[in-house]
Amino acid sequence: MNHWPFILAAYGVVAAAMALLIGASWRAMRRAERAVEDLRR
């Protein structure tokens, strides 16, 4: 059995999950912190 499709699938799933998690956390943080800034002004 060729293992490479399995290896690439595993790395792909992890990379996709990381990108989603980082992206969503970053956006939520920026939005909330910017809203605080806007209120202060």
Partner 1 sequence: MPALHALANPTRFLSIARPLTPVLLWAGLLLLAVGAWAGLTLTPPDYLQGESVRILYVHVPSAWLGMGGWTGIALASFSLLVWRHPLAAIAARAVALPGAVFAALCLITGSIWGRPTWGTWWEWDGRLTSMLLLFFLYLAWIGLARADAERGGDGRIPAIFGLAGTALLPVIRYSVVWWRTLHQGPSITVSGSSIDGSILWPLWLTLTGFSLVFGAIVLMRMRAMLAQQRLEARMRRMAA
- List contacts with partner 1 (CB under 8 A): 1, 3-4, 6-7, 9-11, 13-14, 17-18, 21-22, 25-26, 28-29, 31-33, 35-36, 39
Cβ of residue 18: shortest distance to partner 1, in angstroms? 7
Q: φ and ψ at 29, to 5 degrees?
A: -65, -45
**Minimum separation from the CB atom of position 40 to partner 1 (A):** 9
**Cα angle: 23, vertex 29, 34; to 5 degrees:** 125
